[in-house]
Amino acid sequence: MQKLVFFVGVAGTGKTTVAKKLAVRMPAAFLDRDTVGGRFVEKFLESNGHDPNDRDSSFYKENLRDLEYDTTKDICIENLNAGQNVFMISPFTAELKNREWIEEVITSAGLTKKDVDVKVIVVALQDMELQKERIIDRRTERDQWKLDHWDDFKKRVEFVPEVNWDIPQASIKVFDNSGDLTEEKVEDLYQFIVRE
Residue 54 confidence (pLDDT): 80
| CATH number of the CATH domain containing 128 | 3.40.50.300
Q: Of all residues in the chain, what percent carry a pLDDT higher than 90?
A: 69
Q: How many domains does one find in the chain?
A: 1
What 3-state class would DSSP assign to 25? coil
**Domain limits at 83?**
2-194
Higher-pLDDT residue of 55 and 191 is 191
Strands 86-89 and 2-8 turn out to be: parallel
The pLDDT value given to residue 97 = 93
Measured CA to CA, the distance from residue 79 to residue 112 in angstroms comes to 15
> Regarding beta strands 2-8 and 29-32, do their DSSP bridges make them parallel or antiparallel, or are they unpaired?
unpaired
Rounded distance between C-alpha atoms, residue 6 and residue 95, angstroms: 11
CA torsion sign for 138, 9, 79, 53 is negative
Model pLDDT, residue 7: 97
pLDDT digits (tens, 9 = 90+) for 131-181: 666 666 666 666 665 666 556 655 555 556 789 999 999 999 999 988 889
